[in-house]
Structure 1
Amino acid sequence: MTEGLVLDAPIKEDWRWFDAAPLEALAASPRGDAPDIAHLWIDVPGPRLLFVDGVFDAQGSAPGPLEISAARVKTRANAYTVRACDDAQAGYVLHLRSQAALDGPIQVIHATTGGVAHLSNKIVMQSDAVASLVETHVGTGWSNASLWVELAEGARLMRAVRVLKDRGAHTDYVSATVAKAASFTSTALVAGCRTARIEALVLLCGEGAYGEAGGALLTRGDENVDSATVIDHALPEGTSRQVWRAVAADLSTASMASRAQVRRDAQKTDGEQSLRGLLLKRTATVNLKPELEIFADDVKCAHGATVGELDRKALFYLESRGIPEPRAKALLTHAFVGDALDRIGDETVREAFAADAEAWLEAAL
């Protein structure tokens, strides 16, 4: 499927906005009690997997037909290399046979109580298999998660990941190879994290493949969160979307970098990037970096990037209708973030993510 095709390695400039300063102290922090996670399960059928500090918790899980493999797979070792990591926990390895379809999304909660947990996960889906994955990261300390995805012809995987770690740190890396007529979508929500990075490398290595990577970054206080996504079009008639929204308050920083690469053989590519930032205070910072790298001549690619404040006219209109200013700001900000979260396919999952964003907005405004 991917013979002769490899994902380009990330360049060092892609890491210029990442704040690694807190990681050493967080990695050395002592372990504590596991956080309460009962309310984080979304009320939908499907397998449930719980990992505490990188170790599978069988008592707190309900895997159903899934089998948890103890085999280690590759993990992100540092900013610029990928290799097998001796201190990586197993995580999960999931194989779906041809035309397999699970009853509901696979829910995975990764809870950390301190220190660092290197989480290494892998999903392999054969032709026409369909699955949905919901990942939640909570707790303290630093969680370093890697996900390796291989999609055969016609397979479809929808992934949604949320990070709710308050003063903790999270680094999230997904590498996906997408074959002919297959589809991979990934939507991330970061709503509370001292420092975080969401990274995706998606290789569309079959005709008519679809790839999407986007989400919402919500920052306040002195938090620093960034995303870096690359979708690589290798063969004709591929389609990609990168839709990111950032909301920054106080002295925080949110940064988004998205790149679409179109190789010479990837004619009739359709690619779009939309990066938008919202400043709740002028002391906050939003950095945007859209990129198009095109070597084919029959393509349709577009990108847009804007940073601004809440529309004063819209705010005045809502206030004139009797809506208090904090509530009016929350409504406008929620609609702004909704552009990205609305791309989550499952309605119940989408509503859960929207509720997390709403809770963040109520605290920030």
Structure 2
Amino acid sequence: MATVTLPSTREESWRWADLEALRAAAASERSVAPASALLGLDGPRLVFVDGVFAPEQSNPGRLVVEALDMTTPHPLGAQASGTGWSLTLDAAEAETTVEIVHVSTGGENHLPARLRLGEGAVASVVESYVGTGWANRLVQVELARSARLSRAVRVIADAGFVSTRDEVSIGQGASYVATFLGAGGMGTRFDAAIVLNGIEAYAEMGGTLLTRGAQRQECAVRVRHAQPHGSSHQTWRAVAADTSTASLAAAVEVARDAQKTDGEQSLRGLLLQRTATVNLKPELEIFADDVKCAHGATVGELDARALFYLESRGIPPARAKALLTRAFVADALERIGDETVREAFVADADRWLETAL
């Protein structure tokens, strides 16, 4: 940790970051490894324990564990160097059930990943984080023309801190869809820079942050439209209980030549108690003059009339709150295409609700 230079919370893009929790997680003692949280998908899988490949628990298939030479200006992502994992698909190839599991037992670990999809290639990747300590990841994605990548990231660590940095380049007619879930006891920062470099490129990123106690979670996403006829959608939901804090910052930048861009942001927060905090920061920077861009941001509490209606039908108060809260986060998770993965994410959210309500 002594070699890591952390950003300052005085910087606008880091003002909500819980860097103290990150430092504490990095300095934490090692403990017993938890269960690996494999979903049992029928495809390649990799398991990393404290950032080290565990071959006895893995089935790599076309996934490659190798030293990766990756550069980034991002202060946390720059720490993730050395041996990581990669997936390279040639034109029209498909790999749709890739599973990556990150197990942490304490201290800090860093891991890079690279995904390169050729023209018309298709891939689906689900990643899970369990344990404690500081797990730091850098993921770089390159999508050629008409390639499609779907990612689902579930962070259900008991404690510690998980930081991810995604850097994505999307080619002509290519599609990138990513869904994140933070439903454990850890702190998080989901950080992404997505660039639509091709005509008619598509990007979608969103997810759900669930916080309780004194926990803090955060996402910081910037989508840049560099070419015309691109579309992007960001759908984020945050639920905060007790004295916790969930922060959502989502930006869309439209370059001067990116005419006919369609960009949409939906940020919504739900306070289970008024002692909790949800920070929302939608941002649009538009330099083109023929675009359709919109954003919405709301923070509120559960509808008292809806609660009364459910309770009047014999539903216990805790169950009524859970039903309404689940409905609130559902639209951020329903975009996961694989039914098994989607059900796992919903089950994670349900377990969180059972303890928070």
Instruction: Output the TM-score relative to the length of structure 1.
Output: 0.92
Q: Is 2:299 the counterpart of 1:300?
A: no
Alignment of 1:259-270 (within 5 A): 259-270=251-262
- Structure 1 residue aligned with 2:184, among 185, 192, 200? 192
1:355 aligns with 2:350: no
Q: What amino acid maps onto 1:258 in structure 2? A: A
Query: What is the 5 A alignment of 1:334-349?
Result: 334-349=326-341
Question: CA–CA distance in 2 between the matches of 1:153 and 1:58?
Answer: 33
In the alignment, which residue of structure 2 is the partner of 1:257? 249
CA drift at 1:35: 1.1
CA distance in 2, matches of 1:43, 1:185: 22
Shift of 1:65: 3.2
In structure 2, the gaps of 5 or more residues are 1-9
Pick from 97, 100, 118 the counterpart of residue 108 of structure 1. 100
Following superposition of structure 1 onto structure 2, how do residues 305-344 of structure 1 map, counting pairs within 5 Å?
A: 305-344=297-336
Instruction: Report the Cα offset of residue 29 of structure 1.
Output: 2.0
Residue in 1 aligned with 2:230?
Answer: 238
Aligned to 1:225: 217
Pair 1:210-2:202 in alignment: yes
Which one of 51, 54, 59 corresponds to residue 51 of structure 2?
54
Quote the Cα distance in structure 1 between the aligned partners of 2:74 and 2:220.
Answer: 17
For 1:25 and 1:269, the matched residues in 2 are separated by 43
Deviation at 1:44, TM superposition (A): 2.7
Deviations 1:225-273 (A, max 9, x none): 1101111000000000000000000000000010010011000000100
| 16 and 190 in structure 1: CA distance in 2 versus 1, 3 angstrom threshold | same
**TM-superposed deviation, 1:41:** 1.9
Determine if the alignment matches structure 1 residue 282 to structure 2 residue 279.
no
C-alpha distance after superposition, 1:122-174 (max 9, x if no partner): 11111110000101111110001110000110110000101111221011110
Contact 2:24 2:160 in 1 (8 A): no
**Equivalent in the alignment of 1:7:** none
Is contact 2:185–2:215 with CA below 8 Å preserved after alignment?
yes
Cα root mean square deviation, aligned: 1.5
What is the rounded CA distance, in whole Å, between the counterparts of 2:112 and 2:41 in structure 1? 25
Partner of 1:136: 128
1:291 to 283, 291, 295: 283
| Native 8 Å contact 2:212 2:240 kept in 1 | yes
**TM-score, scaled to structure 2:** 0.94
The residue identity in structure 2 corresponding to 1:269 is: T
Give secondary structure in 1 for the equivalent of 2:132: strand
How much does 1:99 deviate? 0.6
Contact 2:212–2:243, Cα closer than 8 Å, also in 1:
yes
Measure how far apart 1:43 and its partner are: 3.6
Partner of 2:7: none
Task: Tell me the equivalent position of 1:99.
Answer: 92
Tell me if the contact between 1:47 and 1:63 (Cα under 8 Å) persists in the aligned partners: yes
Deviation at 1:64, TM superposition (A): 2.3
Moved more, 195-204 or 240-249: 195-204
Residue 42 of structure 1 corresponds to: 39
Question: 1:14 Cα deviation (Å)?
Answer: 1.3
In structure 2, the residue corresponding to 1:208 is in which secondary structure? coil
State how many pairs are aligned: 348
Q: Match for 2:47: what amino acid? A: L
Which amino acid is the alignment partner of residue 56 of structure 2?
Q
CA displacement, residues 194-248 of structure 1 (integer Å, 9 cap, x when unaligned):
3210111100000000011110000000001110111100000000000000000
Q: Which residue of 1 aligns with 2:155?
A: 163
CA distance in 2, matches of 1:200, 1:23: 18
Relative to 1, partners in 2 of residues 1:92 and 1:127: Cα closer, same or farther, differing over 3 Å?
A: same
Aligned-partner SS, 1:46? coil
Identity value in percent: 56
- Tell whether the 8 Å contact from 1:88 to 1:117 is kept in structure 2 after alignment: no
**Matching residue's letter, 1:99:** A
Query: 2:68·2:112 contact (CA, 8 Å) conserved in 1?
Result: no
Q: 1:67-123: CA deviations, max 9, x gaps?
A: 3223343467625xx64x4x7342202111111112x42100011111000111111
Counterpart Cα distance in 2 of 1:268 and 1:358: 40
Moved more, 289-298 or 21-30: 21-30
Q: Using a 3 Å threshold, how does the CA distance of structure 1 residues 51 and 75 change in structure 2: closer, same or farther?
A: farther
AA at the equivalent of 1:234:
A
CA distance in 1, matches of 2:325, 2:165: 27
Assess if the C-alpha contact under 8 Å between 1:74 and 1:120 holds in 2: no
Letter in 1 for 2:323: L
